[in-house]
Structure 1
């Protein structure tokens, strides 16, 4: 495959394909494993991710790339093959989460700043040598009647831009992920408030990317959808789609090759329905697809349940969900297809 950033970015948002976010931290995947009564060990984490990556039907047809946690980037499958090579053999691109998490931001109560810039240039070289060709950094934006502050948005946007510039210098495509939380405190905000904050956040992010001389053609945007708070009334699918597309058209330059949405606390079906409505209903200047974690994995995790004899069942569940997301990325998902697939 071409090593040009533009070509890698285009491949990441190829029609009908999307990104599997398998970059859960050790702590996060431990919580997921608790739901199926499985202890989180290096081996169990490896076995789970290998189960997903070897689901050939899903990986070859519906997955363009996989975002990995650092541990996974250097792990080997049970047969000794590196997991990076397993992903490549399926025709997908290996990627890596490079931030070290959102931490409380000094002087900004209730807001966070994402850390991980110190030493990032050296780490990116190591990741590139290990096979990663794209990276991900998540900036977290809290939302309420009074949050976010301009200062917190600005600081997170600057960090995203600095990270993106370092990635491109290393030959790695940056996924720029500014997430406006739907499930933060208190989680009661309206969809109108979500639209206002998302638009402001994206405007500032692209100003900082421009100032940092980031090549828009060699990056992917991973935004949250415009959606009301977790504890608020639910807007219709059509309303979410209309508001999200309106914000994107006002803020995202057409030079950006693709937008890969995060699911951000939505249910599996909500994330699928919203993506399909956007793709089906609007003329868009960018590729549009999914970059889902829980919304791709929950059914597979439950079907697998940590048991070797359930690997095939887990892979079937993953393939079904990936197919539904693929249909959504082409604007062709319908609720009745859930049962038919």
Structure 2
């Protein structure tokens, strides 16, 4: 005999596998850790090597990334590392897969899965991120290689007539489809809509654009059935353009950023991690510290970091392509990671003069 007793409606969290993904997403944003991005494309990594006179070879890229993932004590401040396609398929000099080395050190391996930005047809100067073709199969392979989360980046340039509605919608839709495929595959999606710092726009203009972008992104995520409890948002801070004559204080940036996120990001979202986006390492850390300050309202989500150059650059300069410098480079890397850990606690201090570069 069928019971007529009322039953609680099913929730998104009841979907097969989603509870696991929620726990995995939460594990990426513990109280005082963050993500380290070493997912630069080959051309980008080579460009940074060239600036320092380091030979632009596959072996040097592998050696440098091995230096990073084997840094002693890195897991004390870093919860996850984002790899690129080249790195996740490579081994250390000892013959161990990079993803395995990270997992053995209690650091979650992740993977960048987009295939870069390309010109958006009919909209000069604007970009759309590509890589959806064959993504389902690639995600399965990455999961088999040890990845537990993924990242997809879209970019938006602020100008007199940009970003256009077409650019916002195209990129938001791609981000949502990517995120849905990740959750289907059992990977936590990191959704990264980046409003670029290039230009002379004001912080207020950045805030307006960031709000518009985030509203569309979360609308598309909802439409595509993405469970926000099982994803992270990687986002820019609300900043003036690099060429803007008025550069706000770290406190003003924190207030503007928090206001923007409170108006647009669902409270159920597993966490927010900031990208550095061209900020100097010290500024990125100081602004993160201000956002996590006890003087500001309690936030509904964990707020951490997912920095690349802002953590890596001192180590890369010290290493300089020389194995003899590896230990010193690792100490610098760990120090920068620990600085951002302090910023997550709202306890970062620095004697550095904090001016944009």
Equivalent residues of 2:156, 2:196 under 8 A apart: yes
CA distance in 1, matches of 2:104, 2:59: 22
- Residue of structure 2 aligned with 1:56, choices 68, 72, 88: 72
- Residue of structure 1 aligned with 2:83, choices 43, 58, 68: 68
* Structure showing greater Rg: 2
CA shift digits 1:114-172 (9 cap, x unpaired): 00000000000000000001000001111112211111101100000000000000000
The aligned counterpart of 2:211 is: 199
RMSD (Å) for aligned C-alpha atoms? 1.3
Is 1:217–2:233 an aligned residue pair? Answer: no
TM-score, reference length from structure 1 = 0.96
Change (3 A) 1:188 1:335: same
Change (3 A) 1:3 1:52: farther
CA distance in 2, matches of 1:149, 1:36: 37
Gaps of 5+ in 2: 1-17
CA distance in 2, matches of 1:126, 1:82: 14
Alignment of 1:145-224 (within 5 A): 145-183=160-198, 187-224=199-236
Shift of 1:35: 2.1
TM-score, reference length from structure 2 = 0.91
Alignment of 1:223-302 (within 5 A): 223-232=235-244, 233-280=246-293, 281-302=296-317
Q: What is the number of residues matched between the two proteins?
A: 333
Shift of 1:326: 0.5
Shift of 1:336: 3.8
CA distance in 1, matches of 2:57, 2:81: 21
Could you list the runs of 4 or more consecutive aligned residues of structure 1 that deviate by over 4 angstroms after TM superposition?
Answer: none
CA shift digits 1:67-102 (9 cap, x unpaired): 000010011000111111111122100000000001
Change (3 A) 1:337 1:89: farther
